[in-house]
Amino acid sequence: MNRFSEFNQMEMTRRGRIEVICGSMFSGKTEELIRRLKRAKFARQKVEIFKPSLDTRYSDVDVVSHDSNHIVSTPIESSTSILLLATDVDVVGIDEAQFFDNELAEVCNELARRGTRVIVAGLDMDFKCQPFGPMPALMAVADEVTKVHAICVKCGNLAYVSHRLVSGDKQVLLGEKAEYEPLCRECYYAAMSEQAGKEQKQE
């Protein structure tokens, strides 16, 4: 058996499962999602990729990482659309899962029951360190969870959360380095304490 056949066989045995890639912003979630999807394509598997239609930061259609790596996807409004669009495929990729509705976990379960390998990437927490959207449910039902980390811009340790740099209490706020920075737990709480002190002085 040649190396390609061994690789193809290994990838094929990973069907009927849910893999979740989570972490803060700038941690390489989308990069890892794209890497796994491209490997599946290399193994000659049929792959479909989806992302929420509201995420148009880099492209209306493509899934694009912060390092400008990209792969063609289908923007959708509702997670249930995936069941209609992902028939007869081997692998389904889903990016920015935190922006989808709470039906996403059951959609992924149904795909896995059909024998589809589902790879999901998303933020595990919002800027307030609260579980984000359907991500907790997805991690609970996943066969495998990979938590990736950015580097804290303050101290260089592993980042814990995406700290929002602009004002506003709305949970969903699309942004990049001008709006968010990755911070470790200690630096995040220090930043929150400093922000609270400034707000008290303004009052």
Question: What tens digit of pLDDT does each residue of 50-90 get?
Answer: 998 876 555 544 455 445 456 788 999 999 999 999 989 99
- Contact residues for 149 (Cβ-Cβ < 8 A; gap 6+): 23, 24, 27, 158, 159
Angle in degrees, CA 19, 161, 137, rounded to 5: 35
pLDDT in tens, 166-189: 766 666 565 455 688 999 999 999
Domains within the chain, CATH numbers bracketed? 3-149 (3.40.50.300)
Q: Which residues are catalytic?
A: 96
Measured CA to CA, the distance from residue 116 to residue 86 in angstroms comes to 9
- What is the tens place of the pLDDT at every residue in 92-150? 999 999 999 999 999 999 999 999 999 999 999 998 899 999 999 999 999 999 999 99
Supply the pLDDT for residue 199. Answer: 64
Asked if residues 146 and 32 have their Cβ atoms less than 8 Å apart, the reply is yes
SS3 142: coil
Which long-range contacts (C-beta less than 8 Å, at least 24 apart) are formed by 168-176? 171/126, 171/127, 171/128, 171/132, 172/54, 172/99, 173/127, 174/54, 174/55, 174/56, 174/57, 175/57, 176/57, 176/66
